[in-house]
Each structure stands twice: as C-alpha cells, then as structure tokens.
Amino acid sequence: MFTALKWFYNGCSHYTSGGFKKAESQFNPNDLQVDISHRNYLITGSNSGIGYSAAMEISKRGGRVHLVCRNREKGEKALNEIKLESNNENVFLHICDLSLIRDVKIFSQQWLESGQTADVLIHNAGIMNNEREETSEGIEKTFATNLLAPFLLTKLLLDNQKPEQRPLDMKQRVIIVSSGGMLTQKMSTDFEFKRVVTEGKKWDGMQAYAQTKRASVYLTELFAQKYPTTNFFSMHPGWVNTPQLESAMPTFNRLTKRIQRTPQEGSDTIVWLAISPTVEDNFSALFFQDRHPVDKFISNSNTESPAQDVEKLWSYLNHYYESIPNYYPSSASSASN
C-alpha cells in the first residue's frame, strides 16, 4: 500500500499533462531535426492512442512508417488519416494479431523476405483484460500480447536478417512501451498467471498488465546484454487519455481525467527515442520518462527481482521461440542467443 501511494503521489506531479509541460520546457528542439526519410519505423498497436500519435508524428517528419495492427478496418482508417494529415505516402499497413505466435511468424517472415531494413521497432501494442483469457493457441492473452509478442518479433527479425537488412548509418533501435504502473510491482515468475487458475485466485487484470510491463523492462535489459550492436530502450508515457485507459480502468480514469496527458504528450518520448541521434551511444537498456532516463524502482519498495528470476524470464520466453520451425532462408544470418 505504501508503494502504491508513493507511486500515485509521484504520478500526480510527473505523469500528468502538467508534468509533461514542465519537462518539455527543457527539451532540445534540435534533437528531432533529423532526415529520417530513408528509415523504416515499425509500430505495433498503431491504429489508436499513443501508437497512432507516434505514427502520425514520425510520418509528418518524413519517416517510412509501418502500422502493425490487429483489426483491418481500424488499421485502414488510421492509415488513410495518417497519409492525409502527414502528406506522406510512405505509410503502410500490416495486419497481425500479436497475441498469436502464428501471426507473428508470418509477419516477420514476410518482412524479412521483403528485403527491407527494420531500422526502428516500436513495441506499443498492449492489452488489459478484465478476465483471464487464453488465445486460440492456449496462451494467456495478456502475457502473449504484452510480453511474448515483443520478444518473438524482436528475435525473429534480429536473428534472421541478412547483413543488407541492417541500417548502415545507425544502430537498429527497439523501443518497448512500458507503464508507470509497473513501478508498483515485483516481477512474478508465474509469467502466464497460471496460479490464478490452479489456486482459484481472483483475476486482477490491472496487476497482470503491470506485471507484464515490469517484465518488459527486464526484457529490455536482457536484449541489450545479448545484442550489443542494437539499441534497446524502455519507456513509460505517463497517464494518457486513451480508449484503453477509459475502458480498462474506469475509476482511475475518472480520478485523473482532468490531469491526463494527450496522446501526443504521451508519445513524445517514443518519437524522441526513435529519431534523436543523442541516444545512439550509452543509453541502451535504460528506462525513459519525458526524454530522460529514470529509476526503474521506487525507493524502499522491495520490487527488484534477483538475477535468477530475470534469467528465468528469458528462458521461459525463449522456450516459445525455440519451438518455432526454422522456415527462414538459410542465407539469413542467425544469432546464437
């Protein structure tokens, strides 16, 4: 309870629209004055909320933006809006249900076969379910979408790309969108929340969401260790006015409605991490808020996990990766991680 109260108090000062505006006064506008017209930006969950806002801003700045969305109708609507408002024809839609390993496999294979570079991969898609739900593949859906999909998509693209599919003028970047709510959580090794079923516990969708977001911060660190030639960043957008917040956390949404950030304010750090050259060196594995690295733990909260639990996370996710058939061309370079 003390940790949650401390988090809420801190959030009222820093995670709000007012907190963003205060931080914004210190931003360097030159950080985003970069020619990105030759770079590909893959953004999951980009038909609404902060993913849509990030896609719009990067499109306006001339990037080649790839919307990775589950729903075709919503994706096409976002595609047309972004093209029209940004005056950028280099915006593309890919349909992929990230909760399904099958779809992640197909998308990554199609991308690699296209020969394009995956310059910046932004893992924004996330869900918060009010009930425990399993996918058609028998995997808990919050875990599958928020944690397993970023892991699989990142490894499938990095492990199987050819040398010419790596950007020449920068390190590849992978950005994982976490949540400030993860600061209240210590990572459980019950990654798919199976004890909820076996022990008859009540499902807590908010906690499950925060657990996957805590784990995703550790995942960023693990990737940075194992792939030193790629930059990995995690960030949280603050309290943002999005459809998901309104539907999944109605009470919290009512309490914070007047001080919430706009999607544009929430997506600013995503755009900065995706574009700015200032993060090219010495920033991999860090956790960002409003263009600055911040602590990953609330002081005296006892939310830090031992190293063996963090390694269990990698092993658990890698088990799924190793079960995927090797259908990629033999000419692709394969990592040994």
202, with CB counted inside 10 A (0-12, 13-18, 19+), is: exposed
* Spatial contact of 159 and 334, defined as CB atoms under 8 Å apart: yes
List per-residue pLDDT tens for the chain, 337 residues long. Answer: 678 889 988 899 999 999 999 999 999 989 999 999 999 999 999 999 999 999 999 999 999 999 999 999 999 999 999 999 999 999 999 999 999 999 999 999 999 999 999 999 999 999 999 999 999 999 999 999 999 999 999 999 999 999 999 998 899 999 999 999 999 999 999 999 999 988 888 999 999 999 999 999 999 999 999 999 999 999 999 999 877 777 677 777 788 889 999 999 999 999 999 999 999 999 999 999 999 999 999 998 999 999 999 999 999 999 999 988 765 544 343 333 4
* Spatial contact of 147 and 175, defined as CB atoms under 8 Å apart: no
The whole-number pLDDT of residue 65 equals 98
CA 273/CA 287 separation, integer angstroms: 11
CA 303/CA 300 separation, integer angstroms: 8
209 a catalytic residue: yes
The H or E element spanning position 120 is strand 120-123
CA 195/CA 205 separation, integer angstroms: 14
CA atoms within 13 A of residue 212's CA, in its CB half-sphere: 29
* Spatial contact of 214 and 185, defined as CB atoms under 8 Å apart: yes
The whole-number pLDDT of residue 335 equals 39
Q: Which runs of consecutive H residues, i.e. helices, occur in the chain?
A: 2-14, 17-24, 49-60, 72-86, 101-114, 141-143, 149-160, 195-198, 205-226, 243-248, 250-256, 263-275, 307-322
* Spatial contact of 128 and 206, defined as CB atoms under 8 Å apart: yes
The whole-number pLDDT of residue 249 equals 75
Contacts 24+ apart (CB under 8 A), 317-326: 317/147, 317/148, 317/151, 317/152, 317/191, 317/219, 320/101, 320/148, 320/151, 320/152, 321/151, 321/152, 321/155, 321/156, 324/101, 324/105, 324/152, 324/156
Residue 315 tokens read as: 């092993």
The whole-number pLDDT of residue 334 equals 37
Contacts of 266 (CB under 8 A, 6+ apart): 49, 50, 53, 237, 238, 240, 242
258, with CB counted inside 10 A (0-12, 13-18, 19+), is: exposed
Pairing outcome for strands 64-69 and 292-293? unpaired
The whole-number pLDDT of residue 168 equals 85
Place of tokens 């990230």: 98
- Which domains does the chain carry? 2-322 (3.40.50.720)
The whole-number pLDDT of residue 200 equals 87
Q: Which of 15, 41, 52, 209 is catalytic?
A: 209
pTM: 0.94
